[in-house]
Amino acid sequence: MAKIKTAFFCQNCGVESPKWVGKCPSCGEWNTYVEEVIQKEVNQKGSWKSGTLAPKKNSQPKRLREIDYEAQSRLITGDVELDRVLGGGIVPGSLVLIGGEPGIGKSTLMLQIALMLASTKILYVSGEESENQIKMRSERMAYQSDNCYVLSETNTQQIFQQVDLLKPELLIIDSIQTLHSQYVESAAGSVSQVRECTAELMKFAKETGTPVFLIGHITKDGAIAGPKILEHMVDTVLQFEGDRHLSYRILRTSKNRFGSTNELGIYEMHATGLKPVTNPSEILMTQREEQLNGVAIGAMLEGNRPLLIEIQSLVSPATYGTPQRSSTGHDAKRLNMLLAVLEKRGGMRLGQQDVFLNIAGGLRVDDPGLDLAVCASLISSYEDSPVDPRICFAGEIGLGGEIRAVNRIESRIAEAAKMGFKKIMLSRYGLKSLNTEQFSLEIVPVTKLEEVYRHLFL
């Protein structure tokens, strides 16, 4: 009998150690090392790695120019938001990982996609819900499909036996942390099990050309649970975000081998499932019956999509000593920089003021083109004077108080015109090669913060 081999793994970052240590040398967390069995068993029937189900393949090196390549057509899901985030559809043989907080809608989105692809044979494997629970959820959705098969199983060897019989065109695993392989004797969800199960699924996806979706849990810090190698192994990593107490969900990609990582998808949660939001600018701007100070509309870009977003700020005297600086959805360091520019170049006394900044709609933004809208919102709250609701802003603020040009200004202007705005304030330096007569709204060119202040409040 072979000697059982064990090792210690950090449950936070997945680093392996031959002995137990109190503090992980990689991530710095305490008491996260757990002993796991790493001795693999002999080949067992039904595993994709055993060779009983895997096709025979000759592995020989080839010259790069001798490799025959044919562009593969992507599988269009019909969900415009998911197709955009994936880069134009599902790539055959790809391994996609989607993570998010509990209750955010990961399983709902995947089941909805399985039902939407009525002409594609799909196997939905669930290790968290019974078949009756999945059926109950599907009854609430507006889609029906005769090609959606459901399997409630956690053993990868049993799953691959059913895959070999059914031969699905798309495989969905819910979730990767619930699977366990007979090759590893650790508990399901451990570092060794997650790594082994993902490796088997990746081998299956690449050798058969079948796309595989993995639903992943996240830790309390918001990172995907399991070893970091999990995100390295997959082709695409999607993050499903949003407050589960609100109806809007945001799907963004942090890694994509087949497309851009700057795309964004927005959904609205209904009783019948997730509905794609085709015009997100409407939900990102609050409908108000009266003008309020501290509110400005900025034109931003999220990937290739132009969005109009509402910036809300509150500037009030600090009554408890040290002034507070708080931002929700915006970089706090960039807010401090803009406040310093307003105080140094604009003459505003903000050193003894509490400043609170909020991005409406629950979105996180990092586009420097929103600097001008943030400054207009801060000035409006400081002066207690509202900004004209018919004007929006797009410009980056330099340390000298100058208004710098931003990229893809035509898309921002077109989005503002579509939403009914009458004016847009831009940097003069970005209008040199732009034909302003083709737009229906008035373009206000500015170069410094002083010009912005005079145009808005004088």
Residue (of 191, 329, 99) closest to 199 by Cα position = 191
Residues 358/323, Cβ–Cβ less than 8 Å: no
User: Is the preceding omega at residue 94 within 30 degrees of 0, hence cis?
Assistant: no
Give binding residues as ranges.
100-107
Distance, in Å, from the CA atom of 206 to the CA atom of 57, rounded to the nearest integer, reads: 12
E strands, 244-389, are 248-256, 264-270, 273-276, 295-302, 305-317, 325-328, 353-359
Tokens of 109: 């989105």
CB 268 within 8 A of CB 247: yes
Quick one: which of 106, 73, 98, 101 has its CA closest to 88?
Answer: 73
Q: What residues form the annotated binding site for ATP?
A: 100-107
Instruction: Identify the residue whose tokens are 């579509």.
Output: 418
DSSP 370-417: GHHHHHHHHHHHHHT-PPPTTEEEE-EEPTTSBEEP-S-HHHHHHHHH
Q: Where are the beta strands (DSSP E) in 53-116?
A: 95-100
Beta strands in 161-279 (DSSP E): 170-174, 212-216, 236-241, 248-256, 264-270, 273-276
